[in-house]
Amino acid sequence: MKKIFLILIAGLLMTCTAHAEIKTYEGVGEYVMSDFETPEIAKQRAKQRAEQSAQEKAGVFVKSHTTVINSQLESEEIEVMTSGIMKVHSVEYDKKIDESGFIFTAKVLVDIDTNEIDNWLKKNETEKSDLIEQNKALKNSIAEQEKQLAELKEKLSVAEKNNSLQSKQFRNQISNEFAQSDNIFLSNKFFEEGNIFYGRQDYYNAINSYTKAINYNPGNAVAYVYRGSAYGSVQSYQNAQADYARAVQIDNRNVQARIGLSLVYYYVQDYRSAIHELNNVLSINDRNGQAYYLRALCFRNINRPIEAMKDYGYAAYFGYRN
């Protein structure tokens, strides 16, 4: 019976492989360049919007494909999966001018391989959760940057109407603000690139991309957090600790950074330092199930079973499952 079962499973796998396919989707994005931006940045902003358009279309297919396998997937997981497996294979740019200025258009073609969808579904829940958190951080950063850019362009529009741009001081100020906006945009782009490498468990390339993100925006706390995670994944704990600590310096209430620090301490068997950091996490959010679970592990390792059992209970109560 066991032999027959194995033959049936092998046949099923061969059938699934045979039905693997690649779907191609097109996305188009536009961006109006200001006088204080470079054509290259304008093209990259148009490309980002084109990729978002293509991702939305591809996401519909990914959702329908995964529903057959797992109907319980949330929209966030579909979005992260699509972003991680989507591969851009061609980009075309166009430029025109009208009364609003130079308009750059990008058209991208992206591929979705159903084999990659199946591989993504095999990830464990911790990996998936990490990638979802990365995507949330990226979306928040992009949304904030888009808001700031819109405000900056409105400021420029008002200045043009009031002839404020004739002032050299104001021109320098607005030029610096656009340069800063460009750096944040490029930082987000490399952070996104790092997330893709991270999702493929290509941690060294992820580290390189996160480093570029940090170079463009040294205040990018989430880039430090996920570079720390990538360093931790290759057991470079000293570098991981430095990155998590830097993220905490930038954002004292960054729970992910503090949990990262506690994990580093745990892996190097400094359990009391890990407990101290987890206490900090719980002072920020006393419903964080992961923090209770990790603290329970630490208590167990320093022979404090009563506290460990309590924390295991809190972790379960707040819905954390390892």
Q: Which two tokens stand for residue 129?
A: 């959760």
Report pLDDT for 85. 87
Report pLDDT for 70. 55
Report pLDDT for 213. 96
The last residue of a domain, from among 104, 122, 140: 122
Q: Which two tokens stand for residue 23?
A: 């779907």
Taking the C-alpha atoms of residue 42 and residue 44, their distance in angstroms, rounded to an integer, is: 5
The last residue of a domain, from among 77, 97, 122: 122
| Phi–psi pair at 34, nearest 5 degrees | -90, 170
Rg (CA), the chain: 24
The last residue of a domain, from among 122, 138, 161: 122
Residue ranges making up the domain that contains 108 = 21-122
| 111 and 37 both lie in a single domain | yes
Residues in the chain: 322
Is residue 3 included in any domain, yes or no?
A: no
Query: Going residue by residue through the chain (322 aa), what tens digit of pLDDT does each one get?
Result: 444 433 333 443 444 444 668 889 999 999 999 888 899 999 999 999 999 999 999 888 888 877 755 556 678 888 888 888 889 989 999 999 887 789 999 999 999 988 888 888 888 777 788 888 888 888 888 888 889 888 888 888 888 788 877 777 888 888 898 899 999 999 999 999 999 999 889 999 999 999 999 999 999 999 999 999 999 999 999 999 999 999 999 999 999 999 999 999 999 999 999 999 999 999 999 999 999 999 999 999 999 999 999 999 999 999 887 7
Is residue 195 included in any domain, yes or no?
A: yes
Query: Taking the model in full, what pTM does it have?
Result: 0.82
Domain at 307, CATH number: 1.25.40.10
Report pLDDT for 13. 41
| 27 and 56 both lie in a single domain | yes
| 150 and 97 both lie in a single domain | no
| 132 and 227 both lie in a single domain | yes
Is residue 6 included in any domain, yes or no?
A: no
| 157 and 221 both lie in a single domain | yes
Taking the C-alpha atoms of residue 176 and residue 191, their distance in angstroms, rounded to an integer, is: 22
Between CA 267 and CA 277, with CA 273 as vertex, the angle to 5 degrees is 100
Secondary structure letter of residue 37 according to DSSP: S
Is residue 8 included in any domain, yes or no?
A: no
Is residue 136 included in any domain, yes or no?
A: yes
User: Closest Cα partner for 135 from 59, 72, 65?
Assistant: 59
Domain count, the chain: 3
| 116 and 130 both lie in a single domain | no
